[in-house]
Structures are given as structure tokens and as C-alpha cells.
């Protein structure tokens, strides 16, 4: 029997490219070095039993792929618009899929530059060709979300990638309107005057602008490829209960009021397939207690088809207070396990997992990620499961089968022989291997023990076949 979605789990990590945060280590590296660094990050994800990566492919209105709309990213070559000599996105997707990892293309919709200089933009950058679309706010440049031309550009950029690449998801983070700066108003008065008729306030109009983009992209993505998921990772507080009875018992910045992102509405309307609230606070933190917020987000997705994945602050570990405790994040996941609505975890970010400060990543692996997990199936995908593999055999720690053309295969191991046609226990998943693999060696099999192995097929949307018939072969790990 296939695993049910309730028994599945997303285990993700973010791979940051803005500022060369995670990858590439610095701009201007040879393609071979960039590729080796990325492979190393993916191999680490596999060792930690993760199954998903969110990779930033448009960090600042630029591209990690040949785009008809925007210039090459300077984080690849050191100069915006300079061709790196290969298609990084195709490489990124292919390498993830070779390892059985989901690949979600991460876009920042409105950030143009992390610096204030327009001269640093490539000559053909739309932000340079249309300076009236762009504002300086603080020390950064931002597109105006209130302009239809901007929303059209963002939609074209995203849908171009959806159509051309074999991605599993489109991912946005928390940056919509920029976070407010003390004493500085986002300079969109002219746009509001032109486009804001009928709205009671600038705030309502700004939320509408973001809603229009989110709803439109949801429709466009799923029309192009129904199986591609659309997910957003918002700031962890929607609204405080003191402002709205539907809000959480917190006292923090509010995404609804401060960055004009009505994340609760997107969930209730089914515009997104998954939500990854950034719950980057420790347990017991008075303004925004982790335990309180997990329960609040669980209530928001209850009864919907929206998957809840909790964003975890790997970058906080070792930086004071509760974050100095190796077990803090492990405790977070223990809390999450008490809420059936929580179907995944995402760690920010890859470098923090690699560094494993204070052993937090090792602790997560030991406490929660000791076995691999299959990601949930796309809720919008129609059709039946793939064909099961055949001719399963097991001997001397080697397990092999005849492939069925699947995207991947899941291998289960039971500690003793079971009756014919018994379904594998989901908690006995041994490994998930790419579709080109039809044999494994079980190095964990213990001498003198007898096991039963099962193999199922997984398609690109994680639909799972029944176990191979006649799969009840046994092997001694001697």
C-alpha cells in the first residue's frame, strides 16, 4: 500500500544565492567549481535525509538562466548581464532530480537590487529601461507592486521558467512590499493616485496589489503545469490578536499590516499549495512564542488542501539565549509532531546545515530525520499511481528489481518475513533512489538477521505504486 499524505513529510532547505549566501561561494568562479559546490550541497541534503530544495533563481530582478526578460545575475559572474557559459537552472534541476530531491525555483518578485545604484544594473535591465517602475527605499531598489506593468513582468518571468524547466514548485519568500523603515514611507503616492480609486486606504490598495499577483500566478502556474506547486514562505505573524480576533496571541510585526501580505487569505482561497511560515523565534519567546504560532498556523490550514511546512531558523543557532542549546530546534520539531496539520520542515539555510553549529543538524538527524521521507503528492495532480516494479530479489545485502520507468523507487525493509501481499510499514522506508537505479546494497543489514524487502515506484508527483508482487524475498545480513 502506498504511503498516505499523512505519513509523508517535506524536508527542505533553502539555498540562498543573493549575496552569494550559500551558492556559488563567490561570483566569477569557473562553471566546474560552481557545479561542484552545488553538488556538495545536494549530497549533504541527501545524507541528512532531506527531500526538497528551494533554490533562489531570481534574487534581484535577474536570472540564473537565459531569460528573455531579465539579465544574467551578477552573483554568477560578478557582472550583471554576463553569460556564465552554461544554463545553471537546467543543471540545478537535473542534479536535484538525480538525487531524488524536489526542486522549487525561488523567486523574489519585487526586489531589484540590494544596493541603491541604478548604474550597477545591466543596460537592458527592465528596471533601467523603465526607471519610473522603480523606487529607492533605504539602501535598496524595489519595483512598485502597484503598477500593472510590474505585475505583468513578474508573471512573465515566473511562467517562462514554469514552461521551460522541469521544476517541481514555484517558491516565494516573505519579501513583497519591503519591510518598513523608521520614518520612511514607501514612495508610491503617485501610483496610488493613478490606480487606487475605490480603495479606502493605501494599505488596502497595497494588499490588493499583492493579492492580484498571487492569485494570477496561482492560476497561470496551474494552467501551464497542474502538478507544479506554488508555495510562499511568509513572515511568521499574520496579525496580532490585539489587532484582529483571528490573529495570534503575539506582539510582533504583522505581515498583513507592515508588508501588505494577507497570507491567511491566500490559504483560505486556495491560491497556494503550501505555506512555510518563518517561525524564527524560540520556544517561550514572549512577543512571538514558537509553540503559540505553530498551533495558530495549524488552525489556518485545517480543512484546506494547503500543506503546512514550518520554516526553521538554522542561522540562529549559536547566537545567544535559547539558540545556544543544541536541542532547541529538535524541540521545535517535537512540538510540530503533535500537530497533524504540520507536514514538513524547511531549514534556513544550506550553509547553516553544513556548518552544523553546536551539532544542531546532527541532533535533528538523530532525533527526527534518521530515516528518509517521501514528500507529499501534489494535491492538484489527477490520475492513478505508476506501474509497480517487478522481479524483486534480495541476497547478501543486495536488493535488485526490474524498473518500470518511474521517476524514483522507494525501498522498504521489514525485520521479518511477512505474509504475501502485506503492505510495507511507512516507518520502514529504507531509501529512495532515482529512477535509473534498480539495485541497492543494504549496508545497514545486520549479520544473522532476516529481512523482507519491498519496492514501490514513484512518479514525478510522488504518487506511489503498490509494492512489487512477489517481493517477499528474504536475505540474511551475514
User: Does residue 53 carry a pLDDT above 80?
Assistant: yes
* Distance, CA of 347 to CA of 313 (rounded, Å): 6
pLDDT, the chain, mean: 93
User: Does residue 294 carry a pLDDT above 80?
Assistant: yes
pLDDT value of residue 372: 94
Q: Kindly report the CA angle at 389 between 383 and 394, in degrees rounded to 5?
A: 150
Q: What percent of the chain has pLDDT over 90?
A: 84
pLDDT in tens, 321-332: 999 999 999 999
pLDDT in tens, 362-405: 999 999 999 999 999 877 777 788 999 999 998 888 999 999 88
Q: Which helix (H) or strand (E) segment is 199 a member of?
A: none
In this prediction, residues 33-45 reach a mean pLDDT of: 98
Cis (ω within 30 of 0) for the bond into 24? yes
Query: Is residue 294 within 8 Å of 310, Cβ to Cβ?
Result: yes
User: Does residue 471 carry a pLDDT above 70?
Assistant: no
* Distance, CA of 232 to CA of 274 (rounded, Å): 7
Query: Is residue 371 within 8 Å of 385, Cβ to Cβ?
Result: no
SS3 at position 171: strand
Cis (ω within 30 of 0) for the bond into 345? no
**Could you write out the DSSP letters of every residue in 209-237?**
HHHHHHHHHHHHHHHH-TTSEEEE--BS-
Residue 289 or 444, more confident = 289
Q: Give CA 81 to chain center in angstroms.
A: 27
Q: Alpha-carbon torsion 203, 208, 209, 211, what sign?
A: positive
pLDDT value of residue 2: 40
pLDDT in tens, 116-173: 999 999 999 999 999 999 999 999 999 999 999 999 999 999 999 999 999 999 999 9
* Distance, CA of 336 to CA of 298 (rounded, Å): 9
- Band (pLDDT 50/70/90 cuts) for residue 4 is very low
Least reliable range by pLDDT among 3-17, 247-261, 437-451, 460-474: 460-474
Eight-state DSSP code of residue 71: P
pLDDT value of residue 235: 98
Q: Which helix (H) or strand (E) segment is 406 a member of?
A: none
Residue 475 or 80, more confident = 80
pTM: 0.95
Q: How many residues does the chain have?
A: 478
SS3 at position 54: strand
Q: Give the CA distances from residue 450 to residues 169, 325, 426, 443, in Å, rounded to whole numbers and listed in that order.
A: 40, 40, 19, 14
pLDDT value of residue 477: 47
E-strand ranges in 114-159 read 134-137, 140-143
User: Does residue 424 carry a pLDDT above 50?
Assistant: yes
- Band (pLDDT 50/70/90 cuts) for residue 476 is low
pLDDT value of residue 344: 97
In this prediction, residues 201-214 reach a mean pLDDT of: 98
pLDDT value of residue 472: 53
pLDDT value of residue 469: 61
pLDDT in tens, 65-117: 999 999 999 999 999 999 999 999 999 999 999 998 999 999 999 999 999 99
Domain segments of the chain as ranges: 5-367, 390-476
Query: Can you identify the CATH homologous superfamily of domain 5-367?
Result: Glycosidases (3.20.20.80)
Residue 423 or 155, more confident = 155
Query: Can you identify the CATH homologous superfamily of domain 390-476?
Result: Immunoglobulins (2.60.40.10)
pLDDT value of residue 5: 52
Place of cell 528518509: 372
User: Does residue 414 carry a pLDDT above 70?
Assistant: yes
Burial label for 154, CB within 10 Å (0-12, 13-18, 19+), is buried
In this prediction, residues 309-315 reach a mean pLDDT of: 98
- Band (pLDDT 50/70/90 cuts) for residue 474 is low
- Band (pLDDT 50/70/90 cuts) for residue 446 is confident
Amino acid at each position: 500500500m502506498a504511503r498516505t499524505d499523512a505519513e509523508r513529510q517535506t524536508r527542505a532547505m533553502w539555498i540562498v544565492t543573493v549575496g552569494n549566501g550559500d551558492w556559488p561561494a563567490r561570483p566569477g568562479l569557473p562553471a566546474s567549481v560552481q557545479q561542484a559546490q552545488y553538488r556538495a550541497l545536494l549530497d549533504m541534503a541527501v545524507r541528512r535525509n532531506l527531500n526538497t530544495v528551494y533554490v533562489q533563481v531570481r534574487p534581484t530582478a535577474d536570472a540564473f538562466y537565459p531569460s528573455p526578460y531579465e539579465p544574467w545575475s551578477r552573483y554568477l559572474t560578478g557582472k550583471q548581464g554576463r553569460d556564465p557559459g552554461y544554463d545553471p537552472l537546467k543543471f540545478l534541476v537535473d542534479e536535484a532530480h538525480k538525487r531524488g530531491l524536489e526542486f522549487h525555483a525561488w523567486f523574489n518578485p519585487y526586489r531589484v537590487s540590494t544596493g541603491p545604484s541604478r548604474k550597477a544594473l545591466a543596460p537592458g535591465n527592465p528596471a533601467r529601461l523603465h526607471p519610473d517602475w522603480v523606487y529607492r527605499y533605504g539602501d535598496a531598489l524595489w519595483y512598485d507592486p502597484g503598477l500593472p506593468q510590474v505585475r505583468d513582468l513578474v508573471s512573465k518571468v515566473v511562467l517562462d521558467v514554469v514552461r521551460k524547466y522541469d521544476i517541481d514548485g514555484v517558491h516565494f519568500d516573505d519579501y513583497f512590499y519591503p519591510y518598513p523603515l523608521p520614518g520612511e514611507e514607501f514612495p508610491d503616492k503617485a501610483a496610488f493616485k493613478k490606480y487606487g480609486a475605490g480603495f479606502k486606504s493605501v494599505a488596502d490598495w497595497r494588499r490588493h496589489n499583492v493579492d492580484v499577483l498571487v492569485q494570477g500566478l496561482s492560476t497561470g502556474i496551474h494552467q501551464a503545469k497542474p502538478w507544479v506547486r506554488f508555495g510562499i514562505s511568509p513572515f511568521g505573524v499574520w496579525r496580532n490578536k490585539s489587532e484582529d480576533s483571528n490573529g495570534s496571541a503575539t506582539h510582533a510585526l504583522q505581515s498583513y499590516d507592515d508588508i501588505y501580505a494577507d497570507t491567511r487569505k491566500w490559504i483560505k482561497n486556495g491560491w497556494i499549495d503550501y505555506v512555510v511560515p518563518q517561525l524564527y523565534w524560540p520556544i517561550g519567546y514572549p512577543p512571538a512564542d514558537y509553540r503559540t504560532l505553530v498551533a495558530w498556523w495549524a488552525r489556518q490550514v485545517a480543512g484546506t488542501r494547503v500543506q503546512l511546512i514550518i520554516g526553521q531558523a538554522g542561522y540562529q543557532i549559536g547566537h545567544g539565549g535559547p539558540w545556544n542549546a543544541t536541542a532547541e530546534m529538535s524541540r521545535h520539531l517535537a512540538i510540530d509532531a503533535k500537530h497533524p496539520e504540520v507536514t514538513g520542515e524547511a531549514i534556513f539555510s544550506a550553509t547553516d546545515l553544513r556548518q552544523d553549529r553546536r551539532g544542531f543538524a546532527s541532533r535533528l538527524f538523530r532525533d527526527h530525520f534518521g530515516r528518509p521521507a517521501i514528500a507529499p503528492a501534489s494535491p492538484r495532480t489527477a490520475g492513478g499511481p505508476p506501474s509497480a516494479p517487478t522481479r524483486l530479489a534480495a541476497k547478501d545485502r543486495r536488493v535488485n528489481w526490474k524498473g518500470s520507468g518511474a521517476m524514483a523507487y522507494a525501498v522498504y525493509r521489514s525485520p521479518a518475513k511477512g505474509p504475501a501481499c502485506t503492505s510495507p510499514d511507512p516507518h520502514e522506508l529504507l531509501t529512495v533512489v532515482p529512477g535509473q537505479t534498480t539495485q541497492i546494497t543494504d549496508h545497514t543489514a545486520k549479520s544473522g538477521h532476516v529481512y523482507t524487502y519491498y519496492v514501490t515506484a514513484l512518479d514525478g508527483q510522488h504518487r506511489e505504486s503498490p509494492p512489487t508482487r512477489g517481493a517477499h524475498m528474504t536475505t540474511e545480513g551475514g
